[in-house]
């Protein structure tokens, strides 16, 4: 009886390795950080529950470290022909890659490779069933370790600020004065008054001129005069508006243009007039000569009007 028991124990110990090689399911191994291994039964590419757990752990690792790549490499042992083993390693790698995609790993992040029996984990002869060679290796790309913190720099002494220098005041912007108000004398020579003879006007004249542009100026004039050397001496007036083309600068400004207005008073044929004018603004002095042609008289029966005055610019 004791001899029979000893024989049974020896037989069980002898059969244990072969039984483990042929019937064992998928085994889990992680040799280093980010590396996973799935083992397969002889001649099979089917994943069991333990293999599913390995793939789930690898997918979780991929998401946790924020990896962008994960590689899958299929292998076989040396049993069977090299051609069949190549095809079997392809099926094993594809099965693992498909399961990684099902666990949320993007297919574009997976690189798959089938190596057949070319890279054995355990070197054996031909036609040797070795469990550690029937595997798929999974490698999750690990991020580079952060650089060591830079040594803290010693605080530098603050430089002594230079003495403050008062900034020079900005010059006030130059204001261009385009308007001028003038007060001066007025003289008029009427070439054909109400009595069809020459007569004269004399009085004060007020004028206002404004340069719209560098070449165009508008003006208003008002004169109140005394008409003398006529058959009907008395008071009268001249109201006019003009437009002139200007040349030069404000200190020396010749101009030429025309005016339009109304002439009225004792001894005058009251009526509207129009005519040319020329002038010169020389600093504060403004001088002008115009020829007023009344609408009710001929071209040679107008009034020569001359003014000169002192102006104030604004």
What percent of the chain lies above the pLDDT cut of 90? 40
CB atoms under 10 Å from CB of 193, counted, come to 23
Q: Establish if 136 belongs to a structural domain.
A: yes
Q: Are 309 and 191 part of one and the same domain?
A: yes
Residue closest to 133 by CA, chosen among 32, 38, 16, 24 = 38
- pLDDT at position 112 is 94
User: Do 279 and 254 contact (CB within 8 A), yes or no?
Assistant: yes
Confidence of residue 145 (pLDDT cuts 50, 70, 90): confident
Compute the average pLDDT of residues 272-279.
90
**Which burial class, exposed, middle or buried, applies to 254 when counting CB atoms under 10 A from its CB (0-12, 13-18, 19+)?**
middle
Average pLDDT, the chain: 82
- pLDDT at position 280 is 83
**Residues paired with residue 55 on neighbouring β-strands, in sequence order:** none
Q: Are 121 and 227 part of one and the same domain?
A: no
Each residue of 264-285: b (16+ CB within 10 Å) or e? ebbbbbeeebbbebebebeeee
Q: Are 187 and 305 part of one and the same domain?
A: yes
Q: Are 122 and 187 part of one and the same domain?
A: no
Q: Are 87 and 197 part of one and the same domain?
A: no
**Which burial class, exposed, middle or buried, applies to 250 when counting CB atoms under 10 A from its CB (0-12, 13-18, 19+)?**
middle
Q: Which of 140, 163, 197 is the last residue of a domain?
A: 140
Q: Are 102 and 207 part of one and the same domain?
A: no
230-255 pLDDT, tens digit each = 888 889 889 999 888 887 776 777 88
Please give the Cα distance from 268 to 247 (Å, whole number): 35
Q: Are 185 and 288 part of one and the same domain?
A: yes
CB atoms under 10 Å from CB of 112, counted, come to 18
Q: Are 87 and 206 part of one and the same domain?
A: no
Q: Are 215 and 129 part of one and the same domain?
A: no
**In the structure encoding, which two tokens stand for residue 52, read together?**
């599913």
Domains identified in the chain, total number: 2
Residue closest to 192 by CA, chosen among 273, 259, 256, 306 = 273
What is the residue range of 110's domain? 23-140
Q: Which of 12-16, 99-103, 165-169 has the lowest mean pLDDT?
A: 12-16
Please give the Cα distance from 268 to 223 (Å, whole number): 15
Q: Establish if 226 belongs to a structural domain.
A: yes
Dihedral, 247, 249, 254, 255 alpha carbons, nearest 10: 50
Count of residues in the chain: 314
Q: Are 309 and 184 part of one and the same domain?
A: yes
Q: Establish if 90 belongs to a structural domain.
A: yes
- pLDDT at position 265 is 87
- pLDDT at position 169 is 74
What is the CATH number for 106? 3.30.1330.60
Q: Are 115 and 191 part of one and the same domain?
A: no
Q: How far is CA 135 from the centre of its chain?
A: 57
Q: Establish if 159 belongs to a structural domain.
A: no
What is the CATH number for 284? 2.40.160.20
In 91-156, beta strands by DSSP E: 110-114, 135-140
Q: Which of 50-59, 97-106, 120-129, 241-250 has the lowest mean pLDDT?
A: 241-250
Q: Establish if 167 belongs to a structural domain.
A: no
Residue closest to 18 by CA, chosen among 93, 79, 95 = 79
Is the entire prediction scored with pTM above 0.75?
no
Q: Establish if 55 belongs to a structural domain.
A: yes
Q: Are 123 and 184 part of one and the same domain?
A: no
What percent of the chain lies above the pLDDT cut of 70? 84
Q: What distances in angstroms separate CA 310 from CA 188, 205, 258, one per listed residue?
A: 19, 11, 21
**Helix (H) / strand (E) containing 18:** helix 2-23
Q: Which of 117, 140, 163 is the last residue of a domain?
A: 140
Each residue of 197-231: b (16+ CB within 10 Å) or e? eebbbebebbbebebeeeeebebebebbbebeebe
Q: Establish if 131 belongs to a structural domain.
A: yes
DSSP string across 164-195: P-PPPPPPPPPPP--EEEEEEEEEEEESS-TT
Q: Establish if 238 belongs to a structural domain.
A: yes
């Amino acid at each position: 009886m004791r001899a029979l028991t000893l024989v049974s124990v020896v037989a069980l110990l002898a059969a244990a390795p072969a039984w483990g090689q042929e019937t064992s399911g998928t085994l889990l191994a992680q040799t280093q950080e980010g590396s996973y291994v799935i083992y397969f039964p002889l001649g099979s590419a089917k994943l069991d529950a333990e293999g599913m757990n390995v793939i789930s752990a690898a997918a979780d690792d991929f998401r946790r470290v924020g990896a962008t790549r994960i590689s899958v490499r299929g292998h076989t042992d040396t049993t069977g022909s090299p051609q069949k083993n190549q095809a079997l390693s392809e099926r094993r790698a594809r099965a693992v890659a498909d399961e990684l995609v099902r666990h949320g790993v993007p297919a574009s992040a997976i690189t798959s490779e089938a190596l057949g029996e070319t890279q054995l984990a355990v070197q054996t002869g031909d036609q040797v069933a070795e469990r550690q060679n029937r595997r798929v290796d999974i490698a999750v790309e690990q991020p580079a370790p952060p650089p060591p913190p830079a040594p803290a720099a010693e605080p530098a002494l603050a430089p002594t600020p230079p003495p403050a220098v008062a900034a020079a005041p900005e010059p006030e912007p130059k204001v261009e004065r385009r308007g001028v108000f003038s007060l001066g004398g007025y003289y008029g020579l009427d070439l054909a008054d109400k009595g069809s003879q020459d007569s004269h006007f004399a009085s004060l004249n007020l004028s206002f001129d404004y340069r719209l542009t560098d070449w165009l100026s508008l003006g208003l004039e008002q004169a109140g005069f005394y008409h003398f050397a006529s058959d009907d001496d008395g008071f009268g007036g001249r109201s006019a508006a003009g437009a002139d083309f200007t040349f030069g600068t404000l200190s020396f400004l010749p101009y030429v243009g025309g005016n339009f207005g109304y002439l009225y008073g004792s001894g005058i044929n009251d009526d509207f007039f129009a005519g040319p004018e020329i002038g010169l603004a020389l600093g504060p002095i403004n001088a002008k000569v115009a020829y007023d042609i009344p609408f009710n008289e001929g071209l040679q029966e107008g009034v020569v009007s001359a003014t000169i005055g002192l102006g104030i610019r604004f």
